[in-house]
Chain A
Amino acid sequence: MNAEIKELTWQGLWKNNAALVQLLGLCPLLAVTASVINGLGLGLATTLVLLGSNCTVSAVRHFVPKDIRIPVFVMVIAAFVTIVQLLMNAFTFSLYQALGIFIPLIVTNCAIIGRAEAYASKNPVKLAAVDGLMMGAGFTLVLVLLGAMRELLGNGTLLNGAHLLLGDWAKVLKVTVFETDSPFLLAILPPGAFIGMGLIIALKNVLDKRIENLFEQPEAVQEIQRARVTAANMTD
Chain B
Amino acid sequence: MSLFMTSSPHQHVKRSTATIMRLVMLCTVPGIAAQTYFFGWGTLIHVAIACTVAVVTEACILELRKRNIELAIKDSSALLTALLLAISIPPFAPWWVTVIGSFFAIAFVKQLYGGLGFNLFNPAMAAYVALLVSFPVQMTAWTPPAQLAEQNQSMMDIISIIFTQFSEEGFSVTQMRAGIDGFTMATPLDEVKTALNHNQTLTEAFSAAQFTSINGFNPWTWVSLSYLLGGLVLLQQRVISWHIPLSMLGGLVVIASVFYLVDADHFASPVFHLVSGSMIMGAFFIATDPVTAATSNKGRIIFGASIGLWVYIIRNWGGYPDAIAFAVVIMNMAVPVIDYYTKPKAYGHDKQRTHSLNNQNGGAE
Q: Which of A24-32, A82-90, A178-186 contacts B (4 or more CB under 8 A)?
A: A178-186
Is residue B261 within 8 Å, beta carbon to beta carbon, of the partner chain?
no
Report A180-202 CB contacts with B as 1/0, cut-off 8 Å: 00111111010100010000000
Alpha-carbon separation in the docked complex, A189 to B134 (Å)? 9
Which A residues between 148 and 193 are near B, CB-CB below 8 angstroms? 182-187, 189, 191
Question: Which residue in B108, B130, B133, B135 is a CB contact (below 8 Å) of A182?
Answer: B135
**Do B134 and A185 touch across chains, with their CB atoms under 8 A apart?**
yes
Report A121-159 CB contacts with B as 1/0, cut-off 8 Å: 000000000000000000000000000000000000000
**Do B133 and A186 touch across chains, with their CB atoms under 8 A apart?**
yes
User: Distance (Å) between the CB of B66 and the closest chain A CB?
Assistant: 13
Question: Which A residue sits closest to B96, measured CB to CB?
Answer: A182
Question: Which B residue sits closest to A183, measured CB to CB?
Answer: B134
Interface residues of B, count at CB 8 A: 9
Q: Give the chain A neighbours of B133 by CB distance below 8 A.
A: 185-186, 189, 191
Q: Give the chain B neighbours of A182 by CB distance below 8 A.
A: 135, 137-138
Alpha-carbon separation in the docked complex, A182 to B93 (Å)? 12
**Do B108 and A184 touch across chains, with their CB atoms under 8 A apart?**
no
Is residue B100 within 8 Å, beta carbon to beta carbon, of the partner chain?
yes
**Do A186 and B130 touch across chains, with their CB atoms under 8 A apart?**
yes
**Do A186 and B134 touch across chains, with their CB atoms under 8 A apart?**
yes
User: Distance (Å) between the CB of B120 and the closest chain A CB?
Assistant: 14
Alpha-carbon separation in the docked complex, A189 to B130 (Å)? 11
Question: Which A residue sits closest to B165, measured CB to CB?
Answer: A181
User: Distance (Å) between the CB of B103 and the closest chain A CB?
Assistant: 12
Q: Give the chain B neighbours of A189 by CB distance below 8 A.
A: 133
Question: Which B residue sits closest to A192, measured CB to CB?
Answer: B134
**Do B138 and A184 touch across chains, with their CB atoms under 8 A apart?**
no
Alpha-carbon separation in the docked complex, A183 to B138 (Å)? 11
Question: Which B residue sits closest to A186, measured CB to CB?
Answer: B134
Q: Give the chain A neighbours of B100 by CB distance below 8 A.
A: 184
Q: Give the chain A neighbours of B134 by CB distance below 8 A.
A: 183-187
Question: Which B residue sits closest to A198, measured CB to CB?
Answer: B112
Alpha-carbon separation in the docked complex, A186 to B131 (Å)? 8
Question: Which B residue sits closest to A181, measured CB to CB?
Answer: B137
User: Distance (Å) between the CB of B276 and the closest chain A CB?
Assistant: 26
**Do B130 and A191 touch across chains, with their CB atoms under 8 A apart?**
yes
Report B119-140 CB contacts with A as 1/0, cut-off 8 Å: 0000000000010011111100
User: Distance (Å) between the CB of B330 and the closest chain A CB?
Assistant: 14
Q: Give the chain B neighbours of A191 by CB distance below 8 A.
A: 130, 133
User: Distance (Å) between the CB of B129 and the closest chain A CB?
Assistant: 9
User: Distance (Å) between the CB of A153 and the closest chain B CB?
Assistant: 10
**Do B108 and A195 touch across chains, with their CB atoms under 8 A apart?**
yes
Alpha-carbon separation in the docked complex, A152 to B135 (Å)? 16
Alpha-carbon separation in the docked complex, A19 to B93 (Å)? 38
Alpha-carbon separation in the docked complex, A189 to B133 (Å)? 9
Alpha-carbon separation in the docked complex, A191 to B132 (Å)? 13
Alpha-carbon separation in the docked complex, A189 to B108 (Å)? 17
Q: Give the chain B neighbours of A185 by CB distance below 8 A.
A: 133-136
User: Distance (Å) between the CB of B114 and the closest chain A CB?
Assistant: 14
Question: Which A residue sits closest to B112, measured CB to CB?
Answer: A198
Alpha-carbon separation in the docked complex, A186 to B104 (Å)? 11
Alpha-carbon separation in the docked complex, A186 to B101 (Å)? 11
Q: Give the chain A neighbours of B135 by CB distance below 8 A.
A: 182, 184-185
Report B34-65 CB contacts with A as 1/0, cut-off 8 Å: 00000000000000000000000000000000
Question: Which A residue sits closest to B97, measured CB to CB?
Answer: A182
Q: Give the chain B neighbours of A184 by CB distance below 8 A.
A: 100, 134-135
Q: Give the chain A neighbours of B136 by CB distance below 8 A.
A: 185
Q: Give the chain B neighbours of A186 by CB distance below 8 A.
A: 130, 133-134
Report B86-116 CB contacts with A as 1/0, cut-off 8 Å: 0000000000000010000000100000000
Alpha-carbon separation in the docked complex, A191 to B134 (Å)? 11
Alpha-carbon separation in the docked complex, A195 to B100 (Å)? 15
Alpha-carbon separation in the docked complex, A185 to B138 (Å)? 12
Report A194-231 CB contacts with B as 1/0, cut-off 8 Å: 01000000000000000000000000000000000000
Give 19 CB contacts A-B under 8 Å: A182-B135, A182-B137, A182-B138, A183-B134, A184-B100, A184-B134, A184-B135, A185-B133, A185-B134, A185-B135, A185-B136, A186-B130, A186-B133, A186-B134, A187-B134, A189-B133, A191-B130, A191-B133, A195-B108
Taking A183-B134, A184-B135 as known contacts, 13 extra A-B pairs with beta carbons closer than 8 A to each other, sorted by chain A number, are A182-B135, A182-B137, A182-B138, A184-B134, A185-B134, A185-B135, A185-B136, A186-B130, A186-B133, A186-B134, A191-B130, A191-B133, A195-B108
The 5 lowest CB-CB distance pairs between A and B, nearest first, are A186-B134, A185-B134, A186-B130, A184-B134, A182-B135
Binding site for A on B (CB under 8 A): 100, 108, 130, 133-138
